[in-house]
A = this chain, B = another copy of it.
Amino acid sequence: MSDTSTATPESLSQTLAESGLRSTPQRELVFNVLLKKRDHPTADEVFARVKAEMPTISLATVYNCLETLVQCRVVRAVNFERGPTRYCPNQKPHAHFHDESTGSTHDIDLPPGLLDQVKSILPDGYDSNSVEIIFRGKAKD
């Protein structure tokens, strides 16, 4: 059973190509680091993880790569409070749960139809192409 929720490493170079962008070791590594530990890291955290494998990479490049991955829609940028942007490789539509006691962020699967249901509250004249749902609270564990 293959995971359709995220692009696989092999498919990244294809996705990049489809956008007229090149596959580079930096882009591949940044993406792999996001896939490996899905804790919604900041750019700085991605930088630290990536540097362990590619010590010469620069922070500017990490920002560039993340931006590129977001443009290609293989990664989502998440902002739920002032503070560094966080990055998420989960391609499946999902909500975010921000645990206020630990500071950690969890993905919450959405039951089919929920997004449409939520979109249906929009008055006439509002045409939405994306819905973001953010929970805040405390999670067991």
Contacts and interface: CB of A to CB of B under 8 A. Distances in A.
Given A81-B79, A82-B85, A136 B128 contact: yes
Copies in the complex: 2
A51 B95 CA distance: 40
Nearest to A99: B126
A79 B97 CA distance: 15
Interface string A111-129: 1001001110111111111
A77 to B, nearest CB: 8
A92 to B, nearest CB: 14
Contacts of A128: 97, 135-137
A110 interface: yes
A76 B141 CA distance: 29
Interface in A32-90: 77, 79-82, 85
A123 B135 CA distance: 12
Contacts of A134: 131-134
A131 B135 contact: yes
Contact of A127 (B77, B85, B114, B139): B139
A131 B137 CA distance: 9
17 contacts: A79-B82, A80-B132, A82-B85, A95-B121, A97-B126, A108-B122, A108-B126, A114-B121, A117-B117, A126-B139, A127-B139, A128-B135, A128-B136, A128-B137, A130-B136, A131-B136, A132-B134
